[in-house]
Structure 1
Amino acid sequence: MIHSCISDVEVPSEWGMCDDMAVSDQPLSGYTVGITAERKAAEIGALFERRGARVLFGASMHTVPLPEDGELAAATEEVLAKPVDVAVATTGVGFRGWIEAPCAGERVVEHLRSASLLARGAKACGAIRGAGLSEEWTSPSEESAEILDYLLEREVEGKRIVLQVHGDPMLRFRERLAEAGAEVVPVAVYRWTDPVDLDALDRLIDAVIGGCVDALPFTSAPAAANLLGRADRTGRGTEFRNALRGRVFLACVGSVTAAPILAAGLDCAMPERPRTGALVRLVAEELPRFSRQP
């Protein structure tokens, strides 16, 4: 199932398609990979292009920082109002963005020095250390559910827990902690919206429906969810899902990212380690095998 052309789908030059390649050490030569990421899209695309793939860019979400609309400043003041027992960093970019925001800075760093800091994975851990703080524990699976279990296994009643949320308000996570007697203070550093360039996303959806995309790698759950949601909202949901089943190799960087894909009844592959490099290698190794399946 090698799609060497884009058929009737118009492909603008800004989608970053590379020239035809037939070099033996480029396992993705002749294949087309769709990139739905916003952050580091060019970097991810370049990794696939170096392996010979054509790359179609269609970001499926946009990250909007919150400092300018006052939400982050208000949450920060609430955090600073009383001592913090536990602080949870769910994303590296989110925790770093909070610390670097004008309303936070060194005041927040000093306020959190006496707290137990938990990290959802290596990037969040790196952000904690980058702020000059030390983590107590890092989730090996990089899943929020694992952090919740870690907290609930300990005595959280009466504890004040600061939760850096990652676009998703994590309502169930907060409810479970509140039910266990904790005071939870959420800190939202950014929110997710539709992408700036909706036309590019629509063209990518059309390319999938037209049978011109061989693989879709996902690096975030919101990107996967909004891709499916955009197809639904534009009346192409059923056609889009039918095109994905069996015809497109879906790969997710980890189980959290995979959740919307699996919930839609679609299959996906995941690398052993939840890293972008591992995701690219997985696609390079498995897509040729997948395309040879009847």
Structure 2
Amino acid sequence: MSDAVPTSPLGPVLSGARVLVTAQRRADDIVNALQRRGASVVVASSLGVESHIDEESLVAETRALVERPADVVVVTTGIGFRSWLDTAEAVGLGHELIESLQHSRVVARGPKARGALQAAGLVPDWVAESETSAEIADFLRADGVAGQRIVVQHHGAGDDGLERHLTAAGATTSSLVVYRWGPPADPEAVRRSAREAAAGGYDAVMFTSAPGAAAWLEALRAEQALGPVMGLVDAGMLRLAAVGEVTAAPLRDLGLDVLVPPRARLGALLRSLVLDLGDDEGALPTPAGMLRVRATAATLDHTPLPVSPGGLALLRCLAADPGRVRSRDELLDVLPGDSRDPHTVEVAVARLREAVGREVVRTVVKRGYRLELAGA
């Protein structure tokens, strides 16, 4: 199945939304897909990838596999398999490696690994749909691995116990370490993203790997931002989106709600996030159109409104309980600065009305202001 980004004709339904992407791989594809829907996108890769950390050993293991195919080859990641094949091709072993794998039982850890194998013309004999090494270990041990030679291409986090389980079951195992997760290329960007998330600066945060999600959570802890971010998620003001259940695990371990697509693919993740953030359920029907109040912007019928930070703060307060009258004191509390002059609210409301229309923000004499809903 294709892992292409979605191209459904939904229009700019993410206009005004601000999305944080924590991935390094395919970040450009993610950014382009979200921007086509109108979103503003920030990339702060929470981890880097250190490729070919021991290329000499990798080439030696590849030669050994070519000369003597293994009984079983476990491919744990798509990026790892592609990097392995690139390395083999660079030393003239690409074709030979593919031929060798055709003589082995090939097991894939999830759809990304399967997709990489299929792109190389290989069909895996079995796929762990849960994307866990534990499922692979259970499957292989159930079939019996005693006396078998098993080669494991590790994912970026290294050995997670799979080889230990297979060795205990009587197999002879060897490792292929193609890449490892490393520190982010721009640590300050990651720290800044943590602070901005805590301040309500994003509508959604996207994750494409469990180590990347765990690393971003560590950045939140380091910036003392974890509590505020958890509060925003619990309040429905920040959406966390992960490509699959394995990626979502570090987030769910903290009790956080995570959007996970029905299929663990990047295209499915993007489609789910677009539908989630663009859903009319989160919009308010006003006399001027469908109003959406995002983290850093507001839109009417997907058209951005020219509101200031103060105007956005007022609009968010009014939209939190549409129809309810907010007093001037309540609105003063949410405006930037420490002014207690009621005239400050009157000026801010006047400017807000210029952006959204007088019919949207109504004055209730001697009481305050309210957000008017269509048909109310």
Count of residues in Structure 1 that have an aligned counterpart in Structure 2: 271
Q: Cα deviation per residue 1:159-203 (whole Å; 9 max; x = unaligned)?
A: 111111111223322222122111221211101112111122122
Q: Kindly indicate whether residue 181 of structure 2 is the aligned counterpart of residue 192 of structure 1.
A: yes
Q: Which residue of 2 aligns with 1:99?
A: 85
Match of 2:58 among 72, 78, 81: 72
Q: Which residue of 1 aligns with 2:220?
A: 231
Match of 1:272 among 227, 241, 262: 262
How far residue 72 of structure 1 moved from its aligned partner, in angstroms, is 2.4
Paired residues for 1:126-165 under 5 Å: 126-165=115-154
Q: Check the 8 A contact 1:216/1:251 in 2, yes or no.
A: yes
Q: Check the 8 A contact 2:23/2:208 in 1, yes or no.
A: yes
Q: Kindly indicate whether residue 31 of structure 2 is the aligned counterpart of residue 45 of structure 1.
A: yes
How far residue 63 of structure 1 moved from its aligned partner, in angstroms, is 0.9
The 1:134/1:30 distance shift into structure 2, 3 A limit, reads closer
Paired residues for 1:1-294 under 5 Å: 25-66=11-52, 70-76=56-62, 79=65, 83-101=69-87, 102=90, 105-246=94-235, 247-287=237-277, 288=279, 289=281
The 1:265/1:74 distance shift into structure 2, 3 A limit, reads farther
- Structure 1 spans left out of the alignment, 5+ residues: 1-23
Q: Check the 8 A contact 1:79/1:185 in 2, yes or no.
A: no
TM-score, normalised via structure 2 length: 0.65
Which letter maps to 2:250? Answer: P
How far residue 90 of structure 1 moved from its aligned partner, in angstroms, is 1.4
The 1:168/1:286 distance shift into structure 2, 3 A limit, reads same
Q: Check the 8 A contact 2:195/2:223 in 1, yes or no.
A: no
How far residue 34 of structure 1 moved from its aligned partner, in angstroms, is 0.8
Q: Which residue of 1 aligns with 2:339?
A: none
Which letter maps to 1:121? Answer: G
The 1:226/1:71 distance shift into structure 2, 3 A limit, reads farther
TM-score, normalised via structure 1 length: 0.81
Q: Check the 8 A contact 1:32/1:54 in 2, yes or no.
A: yes
Worse-matched range after superposition: 193-202 or 70-79 = 70-79
How far residue 146 of structure 1 moved from its aligned partner, in angstroms, is 3.0
How far residue 48 of structure 1 moved from its aligned partner, in angstroms, is 1.4
